Amino acid sequence: MVFFYGLSKPTMNHRRSWPGESKFLGFVYLLPALVIYLVFILYPIFETFRLSFYDWKGFGSKPTLIYLQNYQEILQKGQFLSALSHNLVFIAFYSLLPILIGLILASLLGRRALPGMAFFRTGLFLPQILSMVVVGVVWRWIFNPAFGPLNMMLKSIGLTWLALPWLGDSTWALPSVGLIGSWVQYGFCMVLFLSGMQRIQPELYEAAELDGANEIQQFFFITLPGLRPELGVALITTVIAALRVFDLVYVTTRGGPGDATLVTSFLVYRSAFQQNRVGYAAAVATILTAIILVVSFLITRYQSKSEV
């Protein structure tokens, strides 16, 4: 092979085809992946979009075209906006808080070699690799007012008044579910920032230290700017996670108490599978997808702008 390429060096850019080789051979190699992408991703997205203009039970009789009625109903009912506002609250818990914790942990763990470092790193990353259903079940137990460890601990140190029925309390249910999200996401942010910090040249820190910058100044003027690409990645993935959260709500509160933890994806599930309103669910899903696309686009654009 090397021998061959060596010989044909001048024609590297316009390599002659093998005798009998098709120009499109390269595309054929892409075909399997493309087919899977088309069948399992693009087609369902398109179908969801198309169905959002129909009234359909999801099975049996044919869908009826009702144009924008589903969208009209979504905007008229307060439920969608209230669900979306819960998603926005979740951005604070799924995105901002984990990034903050991740930054703090990364700067603590990243700059010096602690004994048992690998252990800490693995342990702190663990929540990220657990299945969300497992996480939900475990936290339902932790939050349980009757025998959960959280309230037992609160009661044992005399904070009985604070031992609330967390997941069932109209005010505290949303932040409680949100905190579970923070617990899941911070490990991912931490690992991302740790790997990013390895790219930052140690000389920068040495120079800053010689100039008399303390650790906090070093963090703000070296670490933080150096982590900009990682911050962008962390922001996009966690914000998307906050906008499309479903499993955690399904396992812990099912949108309750009242509609206190109802989020957009849960509204999609409820409409489609419990109320047989697939068209309406598709419309909600389409709006959610559009919001996610716009938000991701804005974050990427902001990020690439600030890199220039």
Partner 1 sequence: MKTLIRVLSVVLVLIFTLSACTSKTVTTGDVTLVVWDQFYREAETQVIDTLNAEFEAAHPGVKIERVVKQLDDLKTTLKLALSEPNGPDVAQVNQGRSDMGAIVEAGLLLPLDDYAEQFKWDARFSASVNKRNSFSEDGKIFGRGNLYGVSATAEVVGVYYNETMFETNGWQIPTTYDEFVGLLDTIKAAGETPIAFGSLDGWNAIHEFSAIQHIFVTGQYLDDFVYAVNNVSFDTPENQAAAAVLSNWATAGYFTDGYSGIGYDDITKLFKAGQGAMTITGSWLAPELLADTDFEFGFFLLPQATADQAQLAIGGVGIPYSIRKNTLHPDLAAEYLDWMVSPRAAQLWAEASYVPAMPLPEDFTLEERSLFADTVLAWNRINQDNGVGHYIDWATPTFYDTIVAQLQKLLAGEIGPDAFTSQVQEDYGAFLADQ
Q: What is the dihedral of CA 135, 138, 142, 146, to 10 degrees?
A: 140
Q: Among 64, 90, 42, which Cα is nearest to 238's?
A: 90
Task: Provide the 10 A C-beta neighbour count for residue 136.
Answer: 21
The one-character DSSP state at 167 is: G
**CB of residue 141 to partner 1, shortest distance in Å:** 8
Task: Provide the 10 A C-beta neighbour count for residue 159.
Answer: 11
Looking at the Cβ atoms of 165 and 175, the one nearer to partner 1 is 165
Judged by CB under 8 A, the residue of 143, 183, 188, 193 near partner 1 is 143
Where does this chain touch partner 1 (CB under 8 A) — which range of 2-10, 56-64, 86-94, 202-210? 56-64
- Within residues 207-246, the interface with partner 1 by CB under 8 A covers none
Query: CA 194 to CA 101: how far, in whole Å?
Result: 12
Q: Among 112, 102, 101, 98, which Cα is nearest to 215's?
A: 112
Cα 112-118-119 angle, rounded to 5 deg: 120
Looking at the Cβ atoms of 104 and 163, the one nearer to partner 1 is 163
- Preceding peptide of 257 cis, ω within 30°: yes
Query: Does residue 296 interact with partner 1 by CB under 8 A?
Result: no
- Within residues 250-289, the interface with partner 1 by CB under 8 A covers 253-259, 270, 273-276
Looking at the Cβ atoms of 59 and 67, the one nearer to partner 1 is 59
Output the CA–CA distances (angstroms, integers) from residue 159 to 172, 173, 195, in the order listed: 17, 19, 40
Looking up tokens 């892409």 gives 30
List Cβ neighbours of 79 (8 Å cut-off, separation of 6 or more). Answer: 259, 262, 267
- Residue 55: which region, alpha, beta or left (left: phi > 0; alpha: psi -120 to 50)? beta
Looking at the Cβ atoms of 165 and 226, the one nearer to partner 1 is 165
Query: Does residue 131 interact with partner 1 by CB under 8 A?
Result: no
Query: Does residue 175 interact with partner 1 by CB under 8 A?
Result: no
Q: Convert residues 9-28 into a mask of x (bound to partner 1 by CB under 8 A) and - (unbound).
A: -----------xxx-xx--x
Where does this chain touch partner 1 (CB under 8 A) — which range of 46-54, 57-65, 204-212, 216-224? 57-65
**CB of residue 145 to partner 1, shortest distance in Å:** 2
**CB of residue 22 to partner 1, shortest distance in Å:** 5
**CB of residue 303 to partner 1, shortest distance in Å:** 38
- Within residues 59-78, the interface with partner 1 by CB under 8 A covers 59-61
**CB of residue 147 to partner 1, shortest distance in Å:** 8
Looking at the Cβ atoms of 177 and 191, the one nearer to partner 1 is 177
The residues binding partner 1 (CB under 8 A) are 20-22, 24-25, 28-29, 31-32, 57-61, 140, 143-147, 151, 163-170, 253-259, 270, 273-276
